[in-house]
Chain A
Amino acid sequence: MQGLVARAYGQLPYARYLLCAVRDPAAARAWLGQVAPGVSNASRRDEGCGLIVAFTFAGLAAIGLDDDALATFPRPLQEGMVTDHRSRILGDVGPNSPDRWRWGSPGQPAIHVLIAIYAPDEAELEREHSERSAAFAGALSLVADPIDGLLTTTGFEHFGFADGLSQPVIKGWPRRTASVRPPAPPPPAKWEEVNPGEVVLGYADNYGKPARGPTVAAAADPAGILPAPDWASGRRHLGHNGSFLVFRQLAQDVPAFRRFVRSASEASAARGESLSPEKVGAKMVGRWPSGASLVNFPDTDPGHAGTNDFGYHEHDQGGFRCPGGAHVRRSNPRDSSAENPEKSLAATMNHRILRRGRPYGLPLVDPPTQPGEEEGAERGLLFLCLNTDFERQFEFVQHTWMENPFFAGLCDEVDPVVGSQPDGGGTFKIPDRPVRRRLTGVPSFVSTKGGAYLFLPGIRALHYLATLKG
């Protein structure tokens, strides 16, 4: 399987994402055959740079996959990220609507292939990029400007918070990454573990049966490259060791976020309270900038992320520490979504996604020390995540948790950090004694700039695709 399943390439901070269209199918297959052995493999560490290759539905058709096989892909991949219904549930409306996207909307050139390059430094990235581009010249062409992702040395996202702290861990697999920085002892399995089939096709998912994914007719694989699944006779499993990839470019309005938390803090000071900007931000995010949970550290930032071992049910069902509508509580409600904490957690674990994104643009620095650090520069998150069921995992998280105005008994508010807010701004309830505070006029801090649903084939499937006949 491709390396992205196992790794986030934390040691390769420079990344470039190339959105391509197939120009010449035969040449594209030849290119794929040549490049496949060099694609990052989950089972071995990359020497130098990392490379991943993924296909949209249109890309699979363009490279020559037949209709019989195409029909076995899940409907969301077939339709792509942009349909009226999907835009409605993902929050891609108003300023986020696809007709304002930079790439990936139906009015723009179709994206067929995503090539992602990961490199240890800028020079290596450029070298690798020109080498890879030369290799696909004539076969593929770029349909959008290359997008560069850059991990900051601190591991913080642009609003200033440690990111990527809570990830599902695949049951039975070696733990490759520490869940927190600096590494803390791994939390009990119940907070993290999912069955392999939640992330990788062909393995048992949380319901105990293989996550299926696409197949081809046995006759369409005469060389016997693909494995035969035991759940579909006469078929070969194109999905085996593959996954489904969500890619979204999300711009973050850092000045607006900083202004908002500062003004909320100043308003509280005017009332004779002392709510620091850091605390306002922490209440909205649900963690302190260091990544420490508000459940474990309700009053001040301890300066380190601490453990990921916490639930909400026992100590904070009412949200007095971490508000019920806070960003991290919406994106992973843990044991708090129903009355019974065990059932609640079990249900939550059926909707996890493995995030593989990284920031783009330079951090906002005041005063700027180089171009790109100023207020007006664009910066944000290249959101990538892996799952085996778009609807039950990624779309569920986005729709039922993040963008749901009635999440966990709340009344008409969406995620205060990433939510698509109504005109005039939304609200955010901060439970407190004797009575809640409510932030009003919360603007949208994040806007969608592009997006695509992709199939991340296993290594064998890459080889198979390269052997297709035109």
Chain B
Amino acid sequence: MKRVEQTVCTVIANVSDAGLPAVRAAVRRIRVAPACNDVLPFADFDTVHFASLVLAEGLDPSLLILELNVDGTASEILAALVARAGGGVDSLFGGSEGYPGSADPAAAQAWLEAHVVRPGAYHIGATGRTHERIRLEAGLREAIGEFLDKEEASGALVGASAASVRAAVQDFVRADPSLSWARSSPPRQTRSERVRNKAMLYGAIAAVVVALPVLLPVLLVGAVVLRLKERTDPVQDGPPDPDHVRRLQEEEDFAAQNHLASVIPIKPGVLRMVVLRVVLLAINLVARVSAVNGRLGDIPSIHFAHWSMINGNRHLLFVSNFDGSWESYLGDFIDKAAPGLTAVWSNTVDFPRTRLLAFEGAADGPRFRAWARAKQCSTDAWYTAYPASTMTTIDDNTSIREGLFANLDEKATDDWLALL
């Protein structure tokens, strides 16, 4: 099992008013059956973890946003889409300016690549785990679980020691040739990746420290201007449109995960744009170093998420594939990550009242939840490759595999057995 990097790949295309009906029709066909449809049958592409389509209408121009969270590079997945679902790609992007059509696969792929928007900050929960690996490891856990159920029922576990239970599990796995892959495990992240990510973060911190004498006056002036703006920026007061929320909820809570997308106008002025850019950069650097074991800050439930400044830096895009309900996700935002989220989203319109960029804002739970719902877009089509796997489950499954034949002391053996 080769280790493959994952990519958050988002293709964004302008859609003309004339092209809208055809795009709407194509998106609807995907929406009904995201895994297998005649436009983009996502299940046919086994490197895809999550995918979504958002048709953001009324932005001048309307935007079609195709989110792909995949194993491998953007080029690889886009080439595969053009090669194996060229007609579907045509029906989505055919109305966009300059799209050459999949009859010329190289040109179509190049056009798509040119429309990939790099994330300003992103998070990948299952770092280094391919879709295939996630599926296999889920199967391993299930097989071990059923084996233990049988052992328990037969009485074989009565009076057994931790070491003997582990040995029995190892024997069970060894005896099954279809599980031979589980005898070793590739790293979640390579050493060079870790070193590179740390170097970038510490390098950035060092650069800031060095530049501080120059930066400080700029920061102080910036803070004063920001504080003045914060007092007068309009804020949303009141609940979101009930029909809008109803439409969103109709699509929620079918799988273990849910999807959230928003495209929000960035507040006018250079200051907000610069601040947003810097905050996203900082979050991205920190996320690369700290969020490698499934957790982003204290939030253990995010598979793939990213922010991008799009549409000529006029809008901030956020898309996330997360475990559990919207309520629990927003609850985590409020309880565990309010300052960071406030620092990002307070640069977009109607955000709840803030102080000095990162304070109050999202910590005002009821107002933040109302704002987040009001600003959320309908996800027009959404695909999850593993609808019954949470981020915690995926990480535990990997830990079970990693510990299966590893050298474990007594304490580590107990901890490993507790995962089963």
Which residues from 362 to 407 on chain A have a C-beta closer than 8 Å to any C-beta of chain B?
389, 391-392, 395-396, 399-400, 404-406
Residue in A84, A346, A347, A391 whose CB lies within 8 Å of B327: A391
A271 close to B256 (CB less than 8 A): no
The proximity string for A residues 273-290 relative to B, scoring 1 for CB distances below 8 Å and 0 otherwise, is 100000000000000000
Alpha-carbon distance between A207 and B365 when the two chains are bound, in angstroms: 6
A350 beta carbon closer than 8 Å to chain B: yes
List 8 extra interface pairs beyond A347-B332, A406-B323, CB under 8 A. A75-B242, A209-B367, A396-B328, A399-B253, A405-B256, A406-B390, A411-B396, A438-B145
Please determine whether B155 and A270 come into contact, CB atoms closer than 8 angstroms. Answer: yes
Q: Which of A270, A339, A434 is the one whose CB lies under 8 Å from B417?
A: A434
Number of A-B contacts (CB under 8 A): 125
Query: Which residues 88-103 of B have a CB within 8 angstroms of A?
Result: none
A17, chain B: closest CB distance, angstroms: 28
Which chain A residues border B324 with CB–CB below 8 Å?
Answer: 400, 404, 406
* Complex interface bits, B393-404 against A, C-beta within 8 A gives 1, otherwise 0: 100100000000
B160 contacts A by Cβ under 8 Å: yes
Residues of B within 8 A of A205 (CB): 366
- Give the chain A neighbours of B256 by CB distance below 8 A: 405-406
Closest CB in chain B relative to A423 CB, distance in Å:
16
At the interface, yes or no: A223 with Cβ under 8 Å from chain B?
Answer: no
Roughly how many angstroms separate A267 CA and B153 CA in the complex, as a whole number? 8
Give B147-166 interface residues, CB cut-off 8 Å to A.
148-149, 152-155, 157-158, 160-162, 164-165
Using a CB–CB distance below 8 Å, which chain A residues touch chain B? Answer: 74-75, 78-79, 83-85, 88-89, 205-207, 209, 211-212, 267, 270-273, 318, 338-340, 343, 346-347, 350-351, 389, 391-392, 395-396, 399-400, 404-406, 409, 411-412, 431, 433-438, 440
Q: Is the CB of A409 within 8 A of B327?
A: no
Q: Would you list 14 pairs from A and B whose C-beta atoms are within 8 A, ordered by A residue?
A: A74-B239, A75-B242, A85-B249, A207-B364, A209-B364, A267-B153, A271-B154, A399-B328, A400-B328, A405-B256, A406-B256, A433-B417, A438-B145, A438-B149
Contact B418–A431 (Cβ < 8 Å): yes
Chain B residue contacts of A399, Cβ below 8 A: 253, 325, 327-328
Contact B162 A389 (CB under 8 A): no
CA of A412 to CA of B388, assembled, Å? 8
* Cβ contacts B50-89/A at 8 Å (1 or 0 each): 0000000000000000000000000000000000000000
The 6 lowest CB-CB distance pairs between A and B, nearest first, are: A271-B155, A434-B162, A347-B335, A400-B328, A85-B249, A406-B390
A79 proximity list for chain B (CB < 8 A)? 246
**Binary per-residue interface labels of chain B (349-372) against chain A in the complex, 1 for a CB within 8 Å, 0 otherwise:** 000000000000001111101000
Interface residues of B in 279-336 (CB under 8 A from A): 298, 300, 323-325, 327-328, 331-332, 334-336
Q: Please determine whether A435 and B165 come into contact, CB atoms closer than 8 angstroms.
A: yes
Q: Does B16 contact A (CB under 8 A)?
A: no
Residue of B nearest to A406 (CB): B390
User: 1/0 contact trace for B153-181 toward A, CB 8 Å?
Assistant: 11101101110110000000000000000
Q: Is the CB of A433 within 8 A of B414?
A: yes
Give the distance in Å from the alpha carbon of A396 to the alpha carbon of B327 in the complex.
7
- Interface size range of chain B in the complex: 35 or more
Tell me, yes or no, whether B420 is within 8 Å of chain A by CB: yes
Contact A343 B331 (CB under 8 A): no
Q: Is B132 an interface residue (CB 8 A)?
A: no
Bound Cα distance A311, B332 (Å): 20
Indicate if the CB atoms of A78 and B364 lie closer than 8 Å. no
The answer on a CB contact under 8 Å between A338 and B328 is no
B245 contact set on A, CB distance < 8 A: 75
Give the docked Cα–Cα distance between A19 and B300 (Å).
43
Nearest B-chain residue to A388, judged by Cβ: B366
- Determine how close the nearest CB of chain A comes to the CB of B416; give it in whole angstroms: 10
Q: Which residues of B contact A270 (CB under 8 A)?
A: 155
Residues of A within 8 A of B363 (CB): 207
**B361–chain A nearest beta-carbon distance, Å:** 12
Contacts of A436 in B (CB 8 A): 148, 417-418, 420
Q: Are A351 and B331 in contact (CB under 8 A)?
A: yes
Residues of A within 8 A of B164 (CB): 434
Is the CB–CB distance between A85 and B253 below 8 Å? Answer: yes
Of B161, B239, B253, the contact of A88 (CB 8 Å cutoff): B253
Chain B residues near A406 (CB, 8 Å)? 256, 323-324, 390, 392-393
Main secondary structure of the interface of B (DSSP, over half): helix
Given A75-B239, A350-B331, A399-B327, A433:B298 Cβ within 8 A: no
Return chain B residues, CB-CB under 8 Å to A412.
388
Task: Say yes or no: B335 contacts A350, CB within 8 Å.
Answer: yes
A320's closest neighbor in chain B, by CB? B418
Known: A207-B364, A340-B298, A409-B392. A433 touches B162 (CB 8 A): yes
The answer to the question of B129 belonging to the interface, with a C-beta cut-off of 8 Å to chain A, is no
Question: Which residue of chain A is the closest to B328 with respect to CB atoms?
Answer: A400
Q: Tell whether, in the assembled complex, residue B335 and residue A434 are in contact, meaning their CB atoms are under 8 Å apart.
A: no
In the complex, are the beta carbons of B366 and A409 less than 8 A apart? no
Q: Which of B152, B298, B364, B365 has the most CB of A within 10 A?
A: B152
Rounded to whole angstroms, the CA-CA distance of A243 and B282 in the bound complex is 43
Docked pose: A359 CA to B316 CA in angstroms = 52
A213 CB, min distance to chain B CBs, angstroms: 11
* A339 CA / B417 CA spacing, docked (Å): 20
B250 within 8 A of A: yes
The one of B152, B252, B328 in contact with A85, judged by C-beta atoms closer than 8 angstroms, is B252
B230-255 contacts to A (CB < 8 Å): 239, 242, 245-246, 249-250, 252-254
Is B267 an interface position by the 8 A CB rule?
no
B259 contacts the other chain (Cβ, under 8 Å)? no
B49 contacts partner chain A, Cβ-Cβ < 8 Å: no
Knowing A78-B242, A412-B388, the reply to whether A392 touches B148 (Cβ < 8 A) is no
**Docked complex Cα distance between A389 and B331 (Å):** 13
B123 neighbours in A (Cβ, 8 Å): none
Among A79, A209, A267, A392, which residue has the most Cβ atoms of chain B within 10 A? A392
Residues in A neighbouring B145, C-beta threshold 8 A = 411, 438
Closest residue of A by beta carbon distance from B417: A435
Contact status of A434 and B161, CB under 8 A, knowing A84-B250, A351-B331, A392-B331? yes
Query: Which of B363, B366, B367, B390 has the most chain A CB atoms inside 10 A of its CB?
Result: B366
A338 & B336 in contact (Cβ 8 Å cutoff): yes
Do the beta carbons of B414 and A343 come within 8 Å of each other? no
CA of A409 to CA of B395 in the docked complex: distance in angstroms?
Answer: 10
Chain A residues whose C-beta falls within 8 Å of the C-beta of B153 in the assembled complex: 267, 271
Partner of B325, one of A89, A339, A411, A438: A89
- Contact: B392 with A435, CB < 8 Å? no
Which residue in chain B gives the minimum CB-CB distance to A88? B253
Please indicate the chain B residues that have their CB under 8 angstroms from the CB of A339 in the complex. 298
- State which of A89, A338, A391 has its C-beta within 8 Å of the C-beta of B253: A89
Query: Is there an interface contact between A350 and B365, defined as CB atoms closer than 8 Å?
Result: yes
Interfacial chain A residues near B418, Cβ < 8 Å = 318, 431, 436
CB-nearest residue of chain B to A78: B242
Pick the contact of B152 from A83, A351, A431, A438 — CB < 8 Å? A438
- Chain A residue with minimal CB distance to B252? A85
The 0/1 profile, CB within 8 Å of A marked 1, for residues 115-145 of chain B is 0000000000000000000000000010001
List the A residue with the shortest CB-CB distance to B363: A207
Q: Which residue of B lies closest to A75 (CB)?
A: B242
